[in-house]
Amino acid sequence: MDKCSFCGRTKKEANLLIAGLEGHICDHCIEQAHNIMTEELGGRSSFNLDSIKLRKPDEIKNFLDQYVIGQDRAKKILSVAVYNHYKRLMQKTDSDDVEIEKSNIILVGKTGTGKTLLARTIARMLHVPFTIVDATVLTEAGYVGEDIESLLTRLLQNADYDVKAAEKGIVFIDELDKIARKGDNPSITRDVSGEGVQQGLLKLLEGAVVNVPPQGGRKHPEQKMIPVDTRNILFICGGAFEGIEQKIAHRLNTTVVGYTASRSRDHYDKDDLLKYIAPQDLRAYGLIPEIIGRLPVLTHLSPLDPRALRAILTEPKNAITKQYVKLFAMDGIKLAFTPEVLDYIVDKAVEFKLGARGLRAICEAIMMDAMFELPSGDVKEFTVTTEYASNKLERVDMKVLKAS
């Protein structure tokens, strides 16, 4: 007579008896095994969201200061928004019916000013699932490209498919400006990677239960879906919004270039018009009003001046030069940079308008030969000088660095 190989129940005593190659297992033992698995593996999730220690806004900003140079106003606004968001998640259900709405964030600033770094550092501090999505690859359903839901697939994957952890994670949507409507008026032709994508993002930003394909790609009827509730996911959007200064200048009734502005308007900082950005400027640029409404926290990141770029090279905890020093130390080599070569690297980043992101590319071009040759040699000390850096950069096509 067939019986469970674990507990001995017969087929009549069990609701279900599953046969294997050399034995059987009943439904009772399957349930017990599942409970044991849940207990044993449940605590091993890399994200224990119940133990999040939420820091106060000034503590969040102090943490950001260790990794991100400058951008004090953006860090202050971001710290308050993140604090309020996770405080909202931790609140007990009250009887006063006051529901705190989610405050998604939009960061406007040129390439290399620190938008992605700010979002990544926040996620590192909170230890929550985090993913970066490029908005330019998203298209409407039915067109070549990625479904909008695919950004949640990446979040799920980064959360080790822990749905509850993913539902309290952070999604950074980069290049949001690239899905702006192509003109101020709705187009009669299809804009499959513009306004249509904005409409699709609305559902995610405002909060909804979305069926997500676990492996990404296009959805199809046979595929098993994972429901993900986006109400508590914090969305941070970023974009360069090239040319939005003209929209801001038009609203302020001033000009970006020239001397035609009246003296009464001279108090506007024409070199950094982004500081005056307002929601109506985003609408004029091509974002639909509904999506602007779902991104209530708007802040800008100012262009980095040479002083800030110099600080980025040496001051943060994971500063670029500190990383190279550590890499060489692993090979028993003491590495040093002269102050003059640091100024030279900054000058090149400013000259070619590469921003903070370009500092890494320039350093990599300078250090590549040394990283290739020195580990195999007998050198124990190596100092990077301006002469050495200049010699190495002369052999590099700066167009390649711009594209990196």
Which of 301, 326, 355 terminates a domain? The answer is 301
pLDDT-based confidence at residue 220 (cuts at 50, 70, 90):
low
Q: Which range has the worst mean pLDDT, 67-76, 191-200, 273-282?
A: 191-200
One domain for residues 244 and 323: no
One domain for residues 87 and 235: yes
Mean pLDDT of the chain: 85
Nearest to 309 by CA among 110, 51, 146, 68: 68
One domain for residues 205 and 338: no
One domain for residues 230 and 324: no
Q: Which domain holds residue 152?
A: 50-91+98-301
Quick one: average pLDDT of 18-35? 86
One domain for residues 127 and 241: yes
One domain for residues 270 and 348: no
One domain for residues 61 and 34: no
One domain for residues 66 and 202: yes
One domain for residues 176 and 288: yes
For residue 187, pLDDT beyond 70: no
Buried b (16+ CB within 10 A) or exposed e, 50-59: eebeebebee
Q: What is the pLDDT of residues 357-376, one digit of tens each?
A: 889 999 999 999 999 999 99
Q: Which two tokens stand for residue 159?
A: 């959360």
pLDDT-based confidence at residue 254 (cuts at 50, 70, 90):
low
pLDDT at 145: 60
CA dist 313 and 319 (Å) reads: 6
Do 153 and 215 form a contact (C-beta atoms < 8 A)? Answer: yes
One domain for residues 247 and 380: no
Q: What is the pLDDT of residues 40-58, one digit of tens each?
A: 555 445 666 666 678 899 9
3-class SS of residue 339 = helix
Number of domains in the chain: 3
For residue 106, pLDDT beyond 90: yes
Q: Which two tokens stand for residue 204?
A: 């995610």
One domain for residues 61 and 165: yes
Quick one: average pLDDT of 241-246? 93
